[in-house]
Amino acid sequence: MSTNSDYHSMWANLGLDLAKHDALLGALGQLYQQTFLAQRDRPAGMAYFDFVMSEVHGLRIKELVDARAAGRKVVGSFCVYVPEELILALDGVSVGLCAGAEFGFDAAEQYLPRTTCALIKSFFGFALEKVCPYLAACDLVVGEATCDGKKKAYETFAGLVGRFHAMDMPQHHSPEGRALLKAEFLKLAGELEEVTGRRLEPARLRAAIATVNARRAALARLARLRAADPAPISGLDALLVNQVAFYDDPVRFTKAVTDMCDELERRVASGEGVAPKGAPRILLSGCPMAVPNWKVPALVEQAGAVIVGEESCVGERGARNLVDATGETVEELIDRLVDRYFQIDCAIYTPNPERLDHVRVMRHDLRADGIIHYALQFCTPYQMEAIGVERQLEAEAVPVLRIETDYGAEDAGQLRTRIEAFIERLRG
């Protein structure tokens, strides 16, 4: 992670606490070295993503600052339910916000109950300690109510940031739920028009849909290639690619993923992989993992298994399904957006049989030997669903390991022991 002194004036102008920010980048740089650069037989295409991460608070932030100077608006969010297509159609820049590290939790707990999930405490901590340049560069933050914790936390968080827009979310896959999602998309479109000073036009919205569809298609291609045995890319590296999708320029990112997929296809054809043929194959299911939440995947792959897919918002759930770009009016195109986003099988929905069906399909397509269900402590929706997922899949003779953890390293030893025992079970 860059601590280049050339960026310090930029970070200072954004209002960051430079001492704390340098300390954060130093720790993250060391963690990245140990987690990613220590891997063997990585695809050459990962060099692009290593560079992106080395400049994730540097060059990318400069691009955001330059975009604002040119009159564009930066819109930050935490969730795949925020439609990037609307932001791009109004010449905005969409970025994910910092929410994946145990930083500033003491400060966050002055505003939140101690039993709040780590993701919520993380984005509060980053804001209160003034170490997230993405948040500092935003003209608008969009928060979606995908759980009661977020919904209530946003009431306070809105006062810690500049302009904030809250999105209500449906809880049922029903006509009423779809109508609510459409109403929220229309409200967001109006807010974005006001912030950007532009009008949403069909041609620009179609172009934005094409841009985001191309990125999703590239990520879907990457996901399909992971079905090969031996796996051509580690789960850690594939997760990183999906994480970078939330930060990087979408057109540049899509090209980088496409180029790497070309390389991975050559690897598959030659039988080259990152783990021995026949290594235990794991599907990771559950909560999203934002940068730098790499603890569980690292433990899994250090134990000799390979992660071949993520049934997660930072993974398959965020990238699957394209938007139908047919439509002559803005409302028709927003209907197409709603059609796509309403298929996301987030744990907010009840009942939610689609998600379990999706896990089954992914396990079959990726030839996974077992499932690790990952949930953050105090994330009630995914913790509750985990029990049903485990029971139903185990009844179908699919091995499942249920993990509940947070961002800290204190439980790493215990997790390692449980993960190693699970992998031995898969070896039979």
Edge-to-edge strand order for the sheet containing 400-405?
306-311, 281-286, 370-376, 400-405
pLDDT in tens, 63-88: 999 999 999 999 999 999 999 999 99
Per-residue confidence at 428, pLDDT binned at 50, 70, 90? confident
What pLDDT shows up at residue 383?
97
Q: Which token pair is 42? A: 């990585």
What pLDDT shows up at residue 136?
98
Q: Which token pair is 50? A: 């290593």
- Number of Cβ within 10 Å of residue 327's Cβ equals 18
pLDDT at 4 > cutoff 80: no
* Rounded Cα–Cα distance for residues 100 and 120 (Å): 9
87 exposure class (CB count in 10 Å sphere: 0-12, 13-18, 19+): buried
Tell me the fold of 206-321+347-427.
Rossmann fold (3.40.50)
What pLDDT shows up at residue 401?
98
What pLDDT shows up at residue 134?
98
If you average pLDDT over residues 113-130, what whole number do you get?
98
Instruction: Output the 3-class SS for 353-377.
Output: HHHHHHHHHHHHHCCCCEEEEEEEC
CA neighbor of 334 nearest in space, from 143, 202, 196: 202
What pLDDT shows up at residue 2?
56
Q: CA 236 from chain center: how many Å? A: 13
44 exposure class (CB count in 10 Å sphere: 0-12, 13-18, 19+): exposed
* Rounded Cα–Cα distance for residues 389 and 360 (Å): 10
pLDDT in tens, 290-340: 999 999 999 999 999 999 999 999 999 989 999 999 999 999 999 999 999
Tell me the fold of 5-201.
Rossmann fold (3.40.50)
CA-to-CA separations, 301 to 35, 242, 275, 417, in angstroms, rounded? 10, 17, 9, 13
* Rounded Cα–Cα distance for residues 242 and 327 (Å): 29
Mean pLDDT (the chain) is 97
If you average pLDDT over residues 184-188, what whole number do you get?
98
Coil, strand, or helix at residue 77? Answer: strand
Coil, strand, or helix at residue 285? Answer: strand
Name the DSSP class of 322.
P
Q: What's the Rg (C-alpha) of the chain?
A: 21
Q: Please, where in the chain does CATH 3.40.50.11900 lie?
A: 206-321+347-427
Coil, strand, or helix at residue 407? Answer: coil
CA neighbor of 371 nearest in space, from 356, 383, 384: 356
pLDDT in tens, 10-34: 999 999 999 999 999 999 999 999 9
Q: Which token pair is 176? A: 């009423």
Residue 426 φ/ψ, nearest 5 degrees:
-70, -35
Q: Please, where in the chain does CATH 3.40.50.11890 lie?
A: 5-201
What pLDDT shows up at residue 195?
98
Exposure letters 113-148 (e unless 16+ CB within 10 A, then b): eeebbbbbbbbbbbbbbbbbbbbbbbbbbbbbbbbe
Kindly report the length of the chain.
Answer: 428
Coil, strand, or helix at residue 115? Answer: coil
What pLDDT shows up at residue 158?
97
If you average pLDDT over residues 131-141, what whole number do you get?
98
220 exposure class (CB count in 10 Å sphere: 0-12, 13-18, 19+): middle
* Rounded Cα–Cα distance for residues 240 and 218 (Å): 14
CA neighbor of 99 nearest in space, from 81, 74, 125: 125
Stated as kind and residue range, the H or E segment containing 403 is strand 400-405
CA neighbor of 337 nearest in space, from 23, 14, 88: 88
CA neighbor of 81 nearest in space, from 349, 305, 281, 296: 349
Asked whether the beta carbons of 97 and 132 are under 8 A apart, the reply is yes
pLDDT in tens, 375-398: 999 999 999 999 999 999 999 999
Q: Which token pair is 29? A: 């740089």
